[in-house]
A and B are shown apart, each in its own frame.
Chain A
């Protein structure tokens, strides 16, 4: 019998070691002050652009008394939601104009995922997702909302081609047969960790799949502005799922776009994630639990200032994309020098998948 004074769920949570995920951050490498510390190649942030964000905030931020109030509620100020709608209208090229009232903010996409898990699924239901995938979704949906991830393996099929749909459908049907109801399909576009974009025909087929089973299609486009030109014939240009008329493929009440400040804007510390959502019922449900996922009005103000200065923002994105492209190429060339294989086709995000074990095998094979 348990001696814990916690609830069963409290006891289960106590067994997790969330702190160890951040242990490298307590002893971070710095060439001058801590050369023996951990080099962080694990946490995906736009580190190069952090000084630009800090400089902008210091130079322009107007701190007002209102920013020390509860503001206009937990879903983000009208000013911020308007600025975000304008940003998305300018850069995502949506066929239908995005309105401020269709943008919902919370304190990060992590929270948005949890809120979605809570509102579109019952405990034990599943979210369909391809392999490999951003590792934190498991906790985002699982830790509190108790939603499972239903993984689709691709077994040699190109997961960015329309052929991926049969693999998703197979995983969905297998889950349903074993008693797990699938409530949504989650796609990272651009993909994390593969850094690739989906061609339009694949997006269309994924929309049809979601519509066929009446499940939500959660399009995570958080790296939308972090797509760059790179000399790789396998790379596909980014096109938002909102940039073509999808009304004949999917009910707009099932299609949602997840976005935020943590990646494209180099500002994960602002804790501001958002969702473009046209489903009024889902929006109402999200709003009901929004007080538990409230970002600060100060953060809201900094974020709105960034978006409103379109000239600065445009230079910021140009610089970010240019440095990301340079570092993607540099990483590839260093890997090639060391004969380490990596996944091709990446033209987005802050990462690349690297095959570290074949190197060792190859080298031994070569030398023997």
Chain B
């Protein structure tokens, strides 16, 4: 089962396994909560897909209407929270 705005963008299947290792339960939404917590630790305030009632886990809403330097700093912290590349 997919959602259209996901499918149109993105044909691959979401792999949540790496996150589930960090989560307490085998629960996809738990993985999103864990990532949200990490974003909080990186001092970036962001809205989760779960709170937006998204149909699938893993999505976040990013606000981009700040000054460019603030936007870049925020995105940097989001990538840090997601993990090493």
Contact = CB atoms under 8 A, between A and B. Distances in A.
Interface in B44-84: 44-47, 49, 51-55, 57-75, 77-79, 82-83
Contact of A343 (B9, B15, B64, B78): B9
Interface residues of B, number: 56
Contacts of B43: 29, 36-39
A363 B18 CA distance: 10
A358 B7 CA distance: 13
A265 interface: no
A37 B19 CA distance: 26
Given A38-B45, A338-B79, A353 B74 contact: no
A39 B12 contact: no
Contacts of A135: 47, 51-53
B68 to A, nearest CB: 7
Contact of B64 (A29, A131, A331): A331
The winner among A153, A193, A196, A356 for most chain B CB atoms within 10 A is A356
Given A156-B4, A356-B35, A48 B67 contact: yes
Contacts of A328: 64
A359 B82 contact: yes
B5 A194 contact: yes
Nearest to A34: B43
Contacts of B5: 158-159, 194, 196, 343-345, 353
Given A157-B4, A356-B78, A360-B82, A24 B68 contact: no
B53 A132 contact: yes
Contacts of B16: 357, 361
Given A39-B44, A194-B5, A360-B18, A48 B65 contact: yes
Contact of A341 (B9, B46, B63): B9
B49 A353 contact: yes
A155 B1 contact: yes
A47 B65 contact: yes
Given A29-B73, A41-B74, A132 B55 contact: yes
B19 to A, nearest CB: 6
Contacts of B2: 156
A312 B53 CA distance: 38
- The 4 nearest A-B residue pairs measured at CB: A361-B15, A357-B58, A350-B65, A24-B45
5 contacts: A42-B63, A133-B52, A193-B61, A343-B59, A354-B78
Given A330-B71, A352-B61, 7 more contacts: A31-B69, A154-B55, A155-B55, A157-B4, A328-B64, A361-B18, A364-B18
